[in-house]
Each structure stands twice: as C-alpha cells, then as structure tokens.
Amino acid sequence: QVQLQESGPGLVKPSETLSLSCTVSGGSISPYYWSWIRQPPGKGLEWIGHIHYSGSINYSPSLESRVTISLDTSKTQFSLQLNSVTAADTAVYYCARVGYSNYNYQYMDVWGKGTTVTVSS
C-alpha cells in the first residue's frame, strides 16, 4: 500500500529556509494531488498547500508569499520550501495524498507520520 515519509532538518534558524521532502512508496504520483499540512505544538491542523501530478499548485494565502511546493516525478517525491521562517513556523509538518472519488470529492487519505521542525537560533 502507499506510504509517505517526510524528511528534512529538525532545526532551522530564524530567517532561513525550511526544506522538507516527502517520499512516496508503494504507489504512483499520478493522478493525485499531494498536500502539506502543519500543526504547531498543542494546536490544530493548518493546510499549507497542494500540488497536482500535472504541476498545478494551490497555496494557503497566509503562507503564499513564503512557500514553494514542487514535485519530482522521477523520484516519486514532493517537496516543501518555506522562506524567512520565524518561531511561529515551529510545528509538526505532515505530507498527505489527496484521494478522490466521484464528483471530485477530495480527501487526505494517506498521511506521513510527520516530522517536527523547530525554528530557533
């Protein structure tokens, strides 16, 4: 079955760039959307954005000026970059597959285990 695994540094300095990857195993990148979601300590879930296998991308307006999501189909990986980070970006970052059914119902049906990123000097 499809599995997702996040990877990347667990500690990032303020003002620097957070970079994470999500490796997809056991399945294909197409024809899905692939999402990034984060969860600050003790708080709820925040959607960051998603990318379609065709390359179409949507971002959260609150992060759009700092975020880039990309897809490497040859490596069955997708990535997140978040620029100019502050302590407010400290969170568990999850990657997820966006499944779909008839009438284009979309839902995040496969999740990675999450990776903790701390922003601190």
Whole-Å CA distances, 65 to 20, 61, 72, 77, 87 = 17, 8, 22, 23, 17
- In the complex, minimum distance from the CB of residue 51 to other proteins, in angstroms, rounded to a whole number: 12
| Using rule CB under 8 A, residue 53 touches other proteins | no
| Using rule CB under 8 A, residue 65 touches other proteins | no
- In the complex, minimum distance from the CB of residue 55 to other proteins, in angstroms, rounded to a whole number: 16
**Binding track over 25-44 against other proteins, x by CB under 8 A:** ----------x--------x
| Using rule CB under 8 A, residue 111 touches other proteins | yes
Q: Of 79-108, which residues contact other proteins (CB under 8 A)?
A: 94, 99, 101, 103, 105-108
- On whether the CB atoms of residues 112 and 95 are closer than 8 A, the answer is yes
